[in-house]
Each structure stands twice: as structure tokens, then as C-alpha cells.
Amino acid sequence: MIRHSALLFALLCVTLIVAYWQLWPKPIPDWTAEDLAVLRSLSLESLGDLRPDPSNAVADNPLAAEFGSQLFFDTRLSANGGISCATCHQPIRRFTDGLQKGQAIGTTDRNTPSIVGAAYSPWQFWDGRRDSLWSQALAPLEDEREHAFDRGQVTALVASDPQYREFYETLFGRLPEPEPADIRSTNVVFANIGKAIAAFERTIMPSESRFDRYVSSLVDGDVERQKELFSNDEIRGLRLFIGEANCTQCHNGPLFTNHEFHNTGVVSFPGDVPDKGRVAGVREVMLNEFNCKGAYSDDDERSCDELEYARTDATLIGAFKTPSLRNLENTAPFMHKGQFATLAEVLQHYNVAADAMIGHNEAQPLGFSQRKLNQLEAFLVTLAAPIEMTMSQAEQGD
């Protein structure tokens, strides 16, 4: 009896020791030179200068950005006088709206993407159906579910507002008088309004996050600063992100996106038919009159490599643009139709990676424990920038 009790006690001790060893935080290994190279490539310091947009002659003109900021916040650019670009792209929400699908005069088909840093992307919208910021800015104005305006009304508003007319004529030359029969002149004015809005949107850039400061502390070898900036779980989450989870296959570069299109098997929005995504978007951008090959581009050479060599194959069925992971705070719900309310739900989706409803799911199941998922989420939170830094952008629209 005594020997039996002693054996049970010994087994209990071994069990407790094993459990204690599993729960005790393991030492975090040092970052390798290869790790540091990856982290520096993700840091905002690697973003580089914004490339010029040859299709928009006023893309980096401060006066155009000032004009564009006023247009961006102007509710008169809508059929009911109550909708502006900022209705859906709210600065306080990192230029999103907090809704599953955009809500303006009507309800749109998809979630409102953030436009922070969007100028770095060759494609706009979830399906890439526009190839520049200025051509993107035009689409919502005439969408009956958004502004429900038309290009003639846009031209008339600019002509009737003395300040807008002065802005326009300083930037683009004499404003033609609105004439319904003169479609070409109306289109030129309409395109120029998009170019002014784009000039403002090119100023909307991501701010430094805690992650960026952590990378700087690694480069500087400041151990104490590293401890202040990141918890052990955040470090482990970052290691998973660039390693075992292979998130950087799509979420790479300083904006945490490859600007490409992928089908990751996200379920359809309740009641919606499966969304074809990029395979339809690429066809639309090819035909759009305001694309970089069109008559309203300012680039005389029509240098449109992205459009020229855009993929159009069937692998794009159900594919959507990889979103930036910066500034995730205040941008829920997530995915192209706001299917997931929280980051935890997003991570669980990738943990299972079920078959796609349409096309082929490119993602491989992570198969992570809940602890690892929590660590990944802890890291993703470090990509948020202070809200006051984002809010400063709104002052340009006052």
C-alpha cells in the first residue's frame, strides 16, 4: 500500500514538473542576421519615396492637394447633399467606416478599404478595377449606391463655386462652361477633379507604429528599449509571422502587402452569391475610359506596364487584393465584405483554411494552438499608429 502511494506520488510529481516546464516561458532566442533583414524590410523606414504618377500632372502639387482635401470632405458632391468621400473614409477610423459594407446613399457590395498609403499600390479597390488613385476617386461619385452624382453635376458645382473655380483654373486652365453636348470637355473636368482628390490622398500616409520603433531598437542594439516596446508574446507573435506562419508570403514590405490578388477561401457574405473578385475587376480596368492608357491620362507615353502585363487567368477567380496590415486598430470588421468582426476570427479562418466557395483557396491551414494564435494577434496589434497622428490628416479638410 505504501509502495503504491509512493508510486502515485512520484507520478504526480512528474506530471506537475512536465506541466510546469510547458507553461514556463522559454528563453527567446536572439534574432539572426537573416531575421533582422526581414524585419528591416517590414519597417516603415524602408518605405521609400512615393513614385511620381505620370498620368496625373498635379499628383504632387500642394495646391492640388489643398483643392482635393476640400473636395474630399464636401458633401455637395452627392445627390442628397449629405455624402462625401469622408463619409466612408473616416480619418478617426484610419479612413474606413466600421461597417461590413460601405453605406452611403445605398449599400455597396464590399467593405470600405483604408486609403492610408494607397498611393503606393498600382491597383485600387478590393478587385483592382482601377489603376490609379485619380481614376478610383471618380468611380464612387457616379455610383448610385454611393454619391449618385454625375460628371456633369461635378462640372457644374466647380463652375458655380468661386473658390473651386479659382482652384481649378490655377491648376488646369480655363474651366469650360457646362454644355451637355460637349462630353469631351466634361470628361476632362471630371478627370481633373479626380486628380485633385488623388493629390490629397497621396498625402495620407501611415505613421510610425510600435513595431517600427522595436525594429529601430534592434538595429541600435538597445536591449532595454526592446523590453519596453514588446512583450514576450508580441515577440513570439512576430517570430511566427515571419517564420512558421509564413504571413510574409503575401503581407510583405513596409506596408505589409504585396499589392497582389489572392483567394484565401473567405466565405461569402450571407445572402450574396460568391464574389468573382479580381477576375472581373481586371476586365473592368482594361475597359475603363480613365485608365492609364485612356485619353484622360497626362502621360503622353502611356507607360502602363502594370496594365499591359496584368494577369487575366482563371486563378484570379475569387481573388482579392492583399490589404495592408498597418493601422488595423479601429478598422474592423475585416475582409472584403467585413465577414469577420475581430482579428481573432481572421486568424481562426487561416488556422483552418477551408475549401473556397469559388475558385481555389491558396492558403494552407496553420494548425496552430490557441496560444500561438493569441501571440500572432498580440503582434498584429503593435502595427497600430497613435490615433492623433492619423487624425492630423483630417485638419487638411477643415
| Per-domain residue ranges of the chain | 33-49+208-386, 62-206
The HSE-up count of residue 295 (CA atoms within 13 Å, CB side) is 9
Low-confidence ranges of the chain (pLDDT < 70): 1-29, 178-181, 386-398
What is the spatial distance between Cα 236 and Cα 345, in angstroms, rounded to a whole number? 20
What is the spatial distance between Cα 141 and Cα 188, in angstroms, rounded to a whole number? 15
What's residue 353's pLDDT?
Answer: 92
Cell for 13?
A: 510529481
What's residue 20's pLDDT?
Answer: 47
> Which residues, other chains included, contact 392 with Cβ-Cβ below 8 Å and sequence gap of 6+?
none
Q: Which segments of the chain are extended strands (E)?
A: 261-262, 320-321
What is the spatial distance between Cα 258 and Cα 363, in angstroms, rounded to a whole number? 15
**Statement: the pTM of the whole predicted model exceeds 0.85:** yes
What is the spatial distance between Cα 193 and Cα 168, in angstroms, rounded to a whole number? 8
What's residue 181's pLDDT?
Answer: 63
Helix (H, G, I), strand (E, B) or coil at 373: helix
Number of H-type helices and E-type strands within the chain = 16, 2
Sign (positive or negative) of CA dihedral 251, 255, 260, 262? positive
What is the fold, at CATH topology level, of the domain defined by 33-49+208-386?
Answer: Cytochrome Bc1 Complex; Chain D, domain 2 (1.10.760)
> Which residues, other chains included, contact 314 with Cβ-Cβ below 8 Å and sequence gap of 6+?
279, 359
Thinking of the domain 62-206, which architecture would CATH place it in?
Orthogonal Bundle (1.10)
Q: How far is CA 108 from CA 105, 137, 179, 211, 336, in A?
A: 9, 15, 31, 34, 11
What's residue 339's pLDDT?
Answer: 96
Q: How far is CA 391 from CA 92, 96, 151, 190, 204, in A?
A: 6, 13, 30, 28, 10
Cell for 365?
A: 491551414
Rg for the chain, CA atoms, rounded: 25
What's residue 252's pLDDT?
Answer: 98
What is the spatial distance between Cα 91 and Cα 138, in angstroms, rounded to a whole number? 20
Peptide bond into 333 cis (omega under 30): yes
What's residue 182's pLDDT?
Answer: 79
Exposure string for 34-44, b = 16+ CB within 10 A, e = fewer:
ebeebbeebbb
Tell me whether domains 33-49+208-386 and 62-206 share a fold. Answer: yes
